[in-house]
């Protein structure tokens, strides 16, 4: 048999069981192929895992983005709900004023809801001021009476300068801004505009007056809700809120000098004795004839010469004369809404003593040339009296009852026509949130009822000032509404 050597050698067994080199080479090659295949499989697995991780990450990213988008959409929806709640609240306030703010009366906050009023899934609040709290720590809810403030367009410099944190320079600047004489005593050119030299149209116009600053205008009440919140600065480190000038002033005070039906009032400075007698008789006053004669003679001291007239300067002056002749406060309250001392169609700038703060009252008294100590004491006396006698504030006679006929403050006030007990303009500072306390919005409205029906004079978005409802309202919303 002719066998090839190579074939023979391949088939010949190796001595002592030792394999030949060619066999070892073949097995080595097989092992290398196996290891390569396992390495290849491991690499594929790692690549697949990385791809899977990437896909999961992308999915989570988009899911998270969609979650944020859903939350943003929900916030937009709740913001729209809050805006609609504010519009509904404005109609609600108009209804309340139509029914409760009649003949110059200030509505009682207990007559309608002012806090967390539901409108669908939204709620609204009327941010007000508590006249009976010296240092409130939580927001008070209700309407704000503009009549209890000083009118920027009618108050004199010597009244402005007695307000808290006020300076005589800024008081002069206010007068310069609204003055019509064209005075340019202040450097408005450096501010890039000229002084207005015309009446104020809004209180926020004060920001344009030379020398205005945040501390002067808003004090420590940055969100203008009437309390010192945790994020607001205590200007004098007393733990109490120091409000700015915007808290004390207005431009809207106007009172009609006629009856609600449009008929005129009786002018006591031109009334005859017979007219006085008719007024007293219609009011049920005892001894109407004698009272009419006495009052008539205080105005016309010489019955034979009607040209000699001792006119009443205002309703408080007339009231004091009535009380000095024996008329009771109750009887005067019965006639006070039927008489006047002016022929003007409207009174402007009088301060409502039923709702003015002690600071405003003090400034009014000092502006009437009463010393600071007497003015401050009288203001505190009036505040205490109206807290203790809430049912005796129907007419201006209660000022005399509280201070006395011979009070220097009463005497000073009778020299002009500074005060009243009626109001026809009110602020509705409305804040609202949608479902789950989201979508916070806030708008301030000024309502006027001097023409018989409520109308909106001014609106201003205050949402930028931040949360103004206090921590308690926030906690309640979280506790009740958060799923």
90-149 residue pLDDT tens: 999 999 999 999 889 999 888 999 999 999 999 999 999 998 887 888 999 999 999 999
Q: Which residue has the tokens 């010296």?
A: 134
With residue 151 as reference, give the H or E element that holds it: strand 150-151
Query: What pLDDT digit, counting tens, does each position of 325-372 carry?
Result: 889 999 999 999 999 999 999 999 999 999 999 999 999 999 999 999
CB atoms within 10 A of CB 418: 21
With contact defined as beta carbons under 8 Å apart, do 354 and 396 qualify?
Answer: no
- Angstrom distance (rounded) from CA 385 to CA 398: 9
Predicted local confidence at residue 56, as pLDDT: 86
Give the pTM: 0.84
Query: What pLDDT digit, counting tens, does each position of 283-295 carry?
Result: 888 888 998 999 9
With contact defined as beta carbons under 8 Å apart, do 266 and 238 qualify?
Answer: no
- Angstrom distance (rounded) from CA 261 to CA 264: 9
With contact defined as beta carbons under 8 Å apart, do 217 and 245 qualify?
Answer: yes
Predicted local confidence at residue 477, as pLDDT: 82
Residues 6+ apart with CB under 8 A from 63: none
Q: What confidence tier does 209 reach under pLDDT thresholds 50, 70, 90?
A: very high
Residue spans of alpha helices (H) in 340-413 = 358-367, 372-388, 397-403, 408-413
SS3 63: helix
Q: What confidence tier does 26 reach under pLDDT thresholds 50, 70, 90?
A: low
**Alpha carbon 186 to chain centroid distance?**
31
- pLDDT average, residue stretch 431-449: 94
- Angstrom distance (rounded) from CA 347 to CA 257: 7
Question: How deeply is 3 buried, as exposed, middle or buried, from its count of CB atoms within 10 A (0-12, 13-18, 19+)?
Answer: exposed
Q: Which residue has the tokens 């009011």?
A: 283
CA dihedral angle for residue 218, residue 369, residue 296, residue 396, rounded to 10 degrees: 30
Q: Which residue has the tokens 């023979």?
A: 8
């Amino acid at each position: 048999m002719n066998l090839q050597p190579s074939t023979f050698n391949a088939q010949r067994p190796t001595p002592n069981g030792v394999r030949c080199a060619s066999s070892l080479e073949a097995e080595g090659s097989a092992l290398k192929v196996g290891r390569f295949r396992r390495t290849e499989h491991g690499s594929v697995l790692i690549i697949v895992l990385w791809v899977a991780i990437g896909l999961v990450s992308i999915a989570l990213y988009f899911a998270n983005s969609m979650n944020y988008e859903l939350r943003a959409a929900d916030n937009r929806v709740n913001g729209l709900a809050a805006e609609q709640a504010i519009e509904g609240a404005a109609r609600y306030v108009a209804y309340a004023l139509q029914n409760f703010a009649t003949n110059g009366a200030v509505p009682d906050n207990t007559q309608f809801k002012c806090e967390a009023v539901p409108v669908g899934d939204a709620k609204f609040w009327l941010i007000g001021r508590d006249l009976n709290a010296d240092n409130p720590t939580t927001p008070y809810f209700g309407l704000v009476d503009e009549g209890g403030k000083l009118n920027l367009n009618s108050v004199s410099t010597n009244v402005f300068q007695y307000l808290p944190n006020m300076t005589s320079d800024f008081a002069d600047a206010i007068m310069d801004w609204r003055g019509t004489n064209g005075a340019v005593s202040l450097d408005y050119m450096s501010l890039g505009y000229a002084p207005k030299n015309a009446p104020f149209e809004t209180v926020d116009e004060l920001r344009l007056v030379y020398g205005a600053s945040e501390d002067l205008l808003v004090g420590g009440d940055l969100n203008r809700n009437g309390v010192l919140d945790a994020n607001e600065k205590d200007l004098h480190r007393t733990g109490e809120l120091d409000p700015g000038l915007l808290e004390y002033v207005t431009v809207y005070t106007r009172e009609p000098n006629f009856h609600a039906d449009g008929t005129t009032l009786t002018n006591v400075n031109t009334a005859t004795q017979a007219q006085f007698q008719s007024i007293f008789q219609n009011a049920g006053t005892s001894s109407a004839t004698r009272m009419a004669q006495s009052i008539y003679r205080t105005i016309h001291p010489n019955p034979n010469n009607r040209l000699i007239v001792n006119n009443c300067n205002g309703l408080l002056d007339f009231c004091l004369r009535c009380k000095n002749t024996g008329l009771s406060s109750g009887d005067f309250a019965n006639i006070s809404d039927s008489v006047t001392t002016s022929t003007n169609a409207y009174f402007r700038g009088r301060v409502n003593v039923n709702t003015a703060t002690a600071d405003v009252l003090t400034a009014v008294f000092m502006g009437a040339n009463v010393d600071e100590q007497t003015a401050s004491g009288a203001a505190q006396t009036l505040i205490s009296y109206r807290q203790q006698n809430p049912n005796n504030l129907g007419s201006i006679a209660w000022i005399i009852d509280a201070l006395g006929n011979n009070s220097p403050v009463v005497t000073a006030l009778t020299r002009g026509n500074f005060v009243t007990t009626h109001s026809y303009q009110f602020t509705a500072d409305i804040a609202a949130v949608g479902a789950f306390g989201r979508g916070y919005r806030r708008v301030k409205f000024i309502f006027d009822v001097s023409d018989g029906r409520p109308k909106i004079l001014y609106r201003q978005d205050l949402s930028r000032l931040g949360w103004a409802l206090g921590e308690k309202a926030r906690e309640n919303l979280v506790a009740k509404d958060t799923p």
